[in-house]
Structures are given as structure tokens and as C-alpha cells.
A = this chain, B = another copy of it.
């Protein structure tokens, strides 16, 4: 334990995850707990932190956290940094809790083509951990309830855009006509149905029309009720990819390859749909948030650059 140089925490809405780094920037271990900011009572983030870290000796190492812990509903608000947002800019704008030695990384903000703000908290750190500061012109996706696509270049998040794909999937399947049509095992992926949905999503169309197709395809015997959920999943992810590709192209970025950052079953679905779209999918390594936090900690002087791993 004496070798712990940094404790890094990805502290979200429902879950908190902590990693320990040695002074050479190597991961020594991780802990995870259902201690997201929604679970913390009476603002006692200090108690939640102690519970999360357990027997790790938090008193001897600096701590850095990203995610919703820095939101208005979190421990201490870290105002958004505007895009393009570099590792250095994020490090400049960290905030520090008074009683604990915890540094909090800000989220980032941008403005879409229609002048409407877009925001992320936590994903910026994953992006800057999954994309090496030496890489340029990268397009990355973080699949999820609110999927984020970002252009990352030389340690900067140049711009990003959000799609509520996962939430749409959930509400449509649980509460709409599509859910009443759907049968079958929601965990197994029916690849053919998924790809048929993805093809519909990748084509020009309008979501509120395209989803009605589930009803008519089932009615016409062209889609099995067992396949409705995967068809819908493919449709929504296909539409997201199509829109994100156009978004990247408008910025002059090459959408020939996309790095997928995430875990669980979603990255495999994005790999399938990206292949259907003719886009190369790369999958980022694990612990992207941890690596991003290490890089920001270096820029913030929480750990010394001389000890940075080669």
C-alpha cells in the first residue's frame, strides 16, 4: 500500500469506481460500489468516499475524481470547460474539496449546430484516457443511456454530441407498442434481426416512422416477435451511427474508423452496426477513466511528470 501514488475515482450517478496507481502510473487494483451520487444521503460524500476506499490508505495519496461528483448535485460543483477541452485545460479547472484531499475534474460543454448546449461529465476523462495524447483526428463513441460521440485530437476533446439511444431503447421497449409486440430473450442477440434494424437505421428516414415498422413487419409475418427488441436495438444504433457520421463529416473529420469506449454488451452491438456501415471499429482497452484521471493528475501536478510511465 505504501507505493500508492494516486487514487483515481470515476464517481457517477449510480456507481463509483476507484483505482490505485503506483508512482510509475501502473494500476495496482480497483474497487467498485453502488455509491453513485444518487445513493449518497444528506450530502455525506465523505462517508461514501471512506466506504468506497475501505482498507486503501487514502490518507497518504492524492485523490482525483471525475463524473457527476462534480455536478451541481455532487460534492462540489466543477463548472464545465468549453470545447475544445485539453488535458491541460481540465487540469487548470479542477476544484478541491475542503476537508478531504480530493480533486474533482470538471465536465465539458459544447454548442450544437442549432445553438443548443451539450454537456458531459466523466466521459471527457474516459476519452482522454482511451485516446493517447499522441493520437490525432480520432473519432470515438461511448455507448450508453446517453451515447457520446467525440472528436479527439492530441489530448484535446475538440467537440462532441449526445444521443439518447439507450434511454429511447428502454422507454420504447418497456412502455410503447413495440414492447407489447416484443417477446423472447432480451439478453441473447439475434444478429440477423439486429442487422436488419441497423440497415433501416443507417438509411435515410425518420425515427418516428421507422419504429412503426416493427408493428407492420410483425403484422406481415416479416419479423418474429422474438426479434423485435434486437431489430429496435439495431435501428436505434444504426440511426445514431448515421447521424454521428454526418456530424463528423460536417466538421471535416474522417469517419472511416471509430474507437469504442465501454464495457458490457453494448460495444459488441456497436461493432456489428459499424461494420454494417462500413466503418472500422476499434475497441479501447479497459479502465479508460483511470488512465484519463492519471493524465489529468499529471497535468495538475498531483503526481510528478518525472515518474510518468514511458
Contacts and interface: CB of A to CB of B under 8 A. Distances in A.
Of A117, A209, A216, most B-chain CB atoms within 10 Å: A209
A167 B193 CA distance: 23
A164 B212 contact: yes
Contact of A164 (B117, B199, B211, B240): B211
A99 interface: no
Contacts of A172: 171
Number of this chain's copies in the assembly equals 2
B117 A162 contact: no
Contacts of A200: 114, 116
Interface residues of A, number: 43
B208 A236 contact: yes
A78 to B, nearest CB: 14
10 contacts: A113-B204, A116-B200, A116-B213, A119-B219, A162-B209, A162-B212, A205-B243, A206-B239, A208-B239, A208-B243
Interface of A: 112-114, 116-119, 146, 161-165, 167-168, 171-172, 174-177, 199-200, 203-209, 211-213, 216-217, 219-220, 222, 236, 239-240, 242-243
